[in-house]
């Protein structure tokens, strides 16, 4: 019997983890816990688990799980097939006409979970024209030719530096404390002083921040869902031991002043909030279902990726009927697929579409 997943079915995915130095270590990291559930791997207490990647980017690809979930609720971990990117290239209709027309035969978005113990680099992401130039000139540093607008949705209290403060704004006490924290994390790094002229943003769980091309930022601490266009291009200038390209960063920034907009999400029903950044590659739905509740996600024109953050539920979609989904499960849904979910415990998940 052919075990290749149907184009009309949901796909279970095995995803990639990034062990960047700024990540939370061991079981303190939500990334580590989700990755362990998703892959069946053991969590090492001495290793930082920084980012869980869900998508098709070659720096952290996802793979199709070909075996169904067993009756005891455990997937067969060894039965992992082709990459999601390859499967989509062989089944392009799953993307829907709109995505194929606008972005070609690939996912237009990349989905991540971040767990931060200390600040990431001061950085910005190039616009499309600059991305093409940088990739052509330094393909080993700038890995693709796409832009990277992104959004961070807090799942714990989350801190970030973002954009330039207005000249009349002073939050000096908090800034001075932050500078001391950053200096301990990155001694003698000139990027520490960026805290004085960037906006210091604190997000509560469920709040989101979006960042367009050429906007300076650095995530400081906490855990979040990060969504972006399919790209891994980063131009760095401080708070990092990695490659810095200060000249390029300074030349590309918008230097726009003012505090960034914080997204609260728009309620779609009692359980679901939608976050709509001002770009076309993706939108995000966050769902929290109480015990024995249910909800329906109407079919959309493009593909979706679901991440189960906590709890367990029963999912129905096409021939994917009555399937148990639990914490750490990641599922790919083709375009034009209606999905319904019934919770078996308090249940939360994120959908990127």
**Which residue's entry shows tokens 């990291």?**
29
Instruction: Give the containing element (helix H, strand E) for 33.
Output: helix 30-39
Cα separation, 235 vs 223, in Å, equals: 22
Cα separation, 61 vs 83, in Å, equals: 7
Buried b (16+ CB within 10 A) or exposed e, 265-296: beeeeebbbebebebebbbbbbbbbeeebebe
Instruction: Answer for the pair 333, 317: CB distance below 8 angstroms, yes or no.
Output: yes
The residue annotated as part of the active site, out of 236, 244, 273, 286, is: 236
Cα separation, 49 vs 29, in Å, equals: 6
Q: Residue 351 is encoded by which pair of tokens? A: 């959908």
3-state secondary structure of 111: strand
Q: Is 236 a catalytic residue?
A: yes
Which residues carry out catalysis? 236
């Amino acid at each position: 019997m052919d075990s290749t997943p149907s184009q009309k079915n949901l796909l279970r995915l095995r995803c990639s983890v990034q062990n960047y130095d700024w990540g939370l270590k061991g079981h303190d990291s939500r990334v580590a816990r989700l990755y362990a559930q998703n892959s069946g791997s053991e969590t090492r207490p001495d290793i930082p688990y920084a980012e869980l990647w869900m998508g098709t980017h070659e720096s952290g690809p996802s793979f199709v799980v070909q075996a169904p979930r067993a009756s005891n609720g455990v997937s067969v971990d060894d039965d992992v097939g082709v990459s999601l990117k390859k499967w989509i290239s062989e089944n392009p209709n799953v993307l829907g006409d709109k995505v194929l027309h606008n972005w070609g035969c690939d996912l237009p978005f990349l989905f991540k979970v971040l767990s931060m113990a200390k600040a990431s680099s001061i950085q910005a992401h190039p616009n499309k024209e600059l991305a093409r130039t940088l990739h052509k000139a330094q393909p080993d540093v700038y890995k693709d030719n796409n832009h990277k607008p992104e959004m961070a949705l807090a799942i714990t209290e989350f801190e970030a530096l973002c954009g330039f403060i207005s000249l009349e704004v002073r939050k000096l006490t908090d800034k001075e404390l932050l500078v001391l924290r950053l200096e301990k994390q990155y001694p003698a790094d000139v990027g520490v002083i960026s805290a004085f002229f960037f906006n210091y943003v604190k997000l509560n769980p469920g709040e989101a921040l979006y960042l367009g091309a050429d906007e300076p930022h650095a995530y400081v601490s906490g855990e979040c869902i990060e969504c972006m266009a399919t790209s891994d291009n980063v131009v760095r200038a401080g708070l990092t031991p990695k490659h810095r390209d200060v000249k390029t960063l300074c030349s590309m920034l918008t230097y726009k002043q003012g505090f960034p907009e914080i997204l609260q999400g728009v309620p779609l029903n009692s359980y679901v909030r939608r976050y709509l950044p001002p770009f076309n590659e993706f939108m995000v739905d966050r769902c929290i279902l109480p015990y024995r509740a249910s909800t329906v996600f109407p079919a959309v024109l493009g593909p979706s990726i679901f991440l189960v953050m906590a709890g367990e539920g029963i999912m129905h979609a096409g021939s994917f009927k009555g399937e148990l989904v639990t914490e750490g499960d990641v599922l790919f849904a083709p375009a034009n697929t209606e999905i319904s979910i019934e919770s078996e415990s308090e249940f939360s998940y994120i959908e990127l579409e």
